[in-house]
Every structure is written in structure tokens, then in C-alpha cells.
Amino acid sequence: MASALLDLFYSMGGCLSCFPSSPQLKINSRSFKILRLLGEGGFSYVYLVEDTSSHELYALKKIRCPFGQESVSLALKEVEAYSLFSPHPNIIHSIDHSVASDRSDPSAKTVYILLPYYRRGNLQDMINANLVNHTQFPEKRLMVLFLGVCKALKTMHQYKVKGGPGGAAAVGKAQRVREEAARADAQAAEAARDAGRDEDEEEEQPLMEDEITRSQDGVAPGKARAYAHRDIKPGNVMIADDGKTPILMDLGSLAPAPTPITSRSQALAVQDQAAEHSTMPYRAPELFDVKTGSTIDTQVDIWSLGCTLYACLVGKSPFEARSDETGGSLSLCVLGGDWRFPDEAPQRGKQKAREEGSGASEAVREIVRKCLKVEPAERPDVDELIGIVEKVIKGLPDDGSDD
């Protein structure tokens, strides 16, 4: 309850100077001071925290799981996804995690995930700054960032199962259970010493078998087990401290791919899942109206990449732009592949288009067009896309992005 009030306080713009002392919390024996709220999602809050001993800064994602085991499993799926691709220069990894029970309602849990802190914010923040300052991304710099996101996706789309004989699932599971058991023992000993904490009571729980691990069962080490991110958008691409390296984050939507849709009920379940996890203006058409007999694959991310690149050039998703322009529904625009660059609208002059931020080169526009094919098979796969982007980068004039 105390922590729910704290979340509310921060989300209303509360500041720490109003508190007599900064709130603290513990993640597996490490103490952190909560400095401020960085962002929030449906059931989660992300805080900037400081390690009280090392004074290092981190982002702490706090996921509320009010609906018992099912919502905890979902949050732990996200935890597992953070370690799956680690280390990768363009994919976020988690540093630690813990599960806490709320004292006032033991069935309600909170999952804490400790992440590296990216002080430069995300691609959406850069888009917003461009809109406010009437500036645009230097094209080469943008394409280098875009290439980094493509490389992150290549790792997900072409993931190879890790581990020795018995497969990653078996090896990983055994290792995790041992680690979690050791941690739980340490936690119990500490809890006995440490009474009177105001924050939620910490309590380590073993990770459960879930979608990510299960999907690797029976796949031999070294063999492919593809995953789709399913929520590619500018807000999910953080910018590393060097200003050039994109970091793909928010792996809560990650799912094994391909998914053959064999029944109507499965089609509806996948559609509902997409509505929950994939942001509408960036969501692929095949996820709006999932057809029985179809297959949902990694090409959903290629569509979202096209929307993301367009948003970097124009300021919003192509389908938000089109539905604002026509007053039509966003989903109909997506399903009909109805979008265009602002200067392709007959009534707008080149000057107006430039003001709207669409002065992109033809080569870059062509990348958007290729990704935004309504038919998934007509979109390039991630390898083909990387090839196209690398070629485009070579042909663009230098804008200092290599410095």
C-alpha cells in the first residue's frame, strides 16, 4: 500500500525534496535510493535509483502483478528475456531482479528489474525534441541508429539455442534453480535479521517454466529458435551514452516465432495478446485481424521498423499521420496500407512538407516503403533489410555521425 501511494505521488510529479528522507528499497541485499520516476506503462513504473554504496545510477522497473501467479509469470517472462540475448551491444540486459509480496495483500506481488540507466532517453524523446526545435535527424546518423536496431532484431529473429548437451532449457533451468535456491537462503537469513522495513517485503521465488524456456524444449543447442520482439517503436529504443548506439528494450512483448494459427480461438488469443503488448500505430496489419490458417512470424517487427523509421522522419507513425489527415480510423489505415509521406499529398507544397520534416532522401524513403508492405512475405527479412540499410549508409553524405 505504501509503495502504491509512492507510485501515485511520483506519477503526479512528486519530488523527493518534499520528503524528509529519500525512500529506499532492497534488491537482493543491495540498497537503492529512489531518486525520481523516469516513465510508466500499463502496470509498471520505471524509477531512477542510486546504489547507496557505489552511488551508481540504475533504472528500476517495478511491475505490479495484482492478478496472482499469471501476472507474475508474465513479468518473469520479461526477466528471462533480458538474459536470453545478453551480452549484445544493441539489446538491453538486466542486472538483477526480485519478487516482493505486498504485506497488506500477500496474493499481490511486485517484480523489480534492475536495468542499466540510459540518461539520453529514447528515440521518441529525440523525435519530440526535433518537433519542438523544428530540427531533423542528420540522415546518416539516423540510419546508423536504425542499423543498430536491425542488428538487435537479427539476433532475436535468428536466435540460436545456447547450452551443452540437453539443450539450453535443461542447462539453464538447473543452473537457475541452484542460484535461486542459494539466493532464497540468503534472503531468508537476511529477513530474519532485518525487521521493520516500510517498503514491500522482499521474497525471492524460483523462476517458473514459462513461454520463453518452454519454447526451447526439444531444440538442440546451436539450432534456431526465432523470437519476435512485437513492440518495436521509438519509445522502446534507448540511446546509449555515446549518443550513437541504440539499445532495444522492453522485452515484455517477446514471443517465439513463427506461430501457426490453427484455430479461431487461437487467432483471437493472438489478436488479444497483440492488442495488449504491441502499440497500435506501430502494429502490423496481420495482428489486427488474425486469420485462422495464417502464420504470425518475425515479419511483424519489419513492419514496426518501417513505422519507426517514418516516425523519425516525419514525427509520428505513418498511420497516425494518415488517420489524423483523413479523420479515418487508425486500424482501417493500417489494414489498407493507407499512408504517405507529407509531400506526397497533392495539396501540400514542398516547403510545407519540409516544415513537416519529410525532407528524406529517396533511398531512405524506399526503405520505409519496403517495410510497409501489407503482405508480410513482401517485406524484406532482417538480413535483406540490413543489406539495404548498409548500402544506403554508404551512399549518404557524411554528417559527422562517424565522429
Ligand X SMILES: Nc1ncnc2c1ncn2[C@@H]1O[C@H](COP(=O)(O)OP(=O)(O)OP(=O)(O)O)[C@@H](O)[C@H]1O
Shortest Å distance, C-beta 275 to ligand X: 13
Q: Do the Cβ atoms of 226 and 156 come closer than 8 Å?
A: yes
Q: Do the Cβ atoms of 201 and 25 come closer than 8 Å?
A: no
* Residue closer to ligand X, measured from CB, 59 or 385: 59
Shortest Å distance, C-beta 40 to ligand X: 6
Select the residue interacting with ligand X from 117, 159, 227, 339 (CB under 6 A): 117
Select the residue interacting with ligand X from 122, 155, 216, 401 (CB under 6 A): 122
Select the residue interacting with ligand X from 3, 10, 32, 44 (CB under 6 A): 44
Q: Tell me the C-alpha to C-alpha distance, in Å, between residue 330 and each of 83, 172, 216, 370.
A: 35, 42, 36, 20
* Residue closer to ligand X, measured from CB, 61 or 379: 61
DSSP E strands, 79-158: 96-102, 105-116
Residue 210 φ then ψ, to 5° = -145, -170
Residue nearest to ligand X (CB): 41
User: What length is written for the chain?
Assistant: 403
Q: Is 164 exposed, middle or buried (0-12, 13-18, 19+ CB in 10 A)?
A: exposed
Select the residue interacting with ligand X from 71, 118, 215, 325 (CB under 6 A): 118
Give the contact letters, 151-190, x = binds to ligand X (CB under 6 A), - = no.
----------------------------------------
In single-letter form, the type of residue at position 122 comes to N
**64 CA to centre of own chain:** 17
Stretch that binds ligand X, among 23-31, 182-190, 230-238, 259-267 (CB under 6 A): 230-238
Within a 10 A sphere around the Cβ of 282, how many other Cβ atoms? 28
59 binds ligand X (CB under 6 A): yes
Q: Is 352 annotated as a binding residue?
A: no
Q: Which of residues 2-41 bind ligand X (CB under 6 A)?
A: 38-39, 41
Q: Which residue stretches of 159-223 are H helix?
A: 167-193, 211-214
- Per DSSP, 3 falls in state H
401 binds ligand X (CB under 6 A): no
Shortest Å distance, C-beta 215 to ligand X: 21
Q: Which residues are annotated as a binding site?
A: 61
Residues that bind ligand X (CB under 6 A): 38-39, 41-42, 44, 46, 59, 61, 115-118, 122, 235-236, 238, 249-250, 252
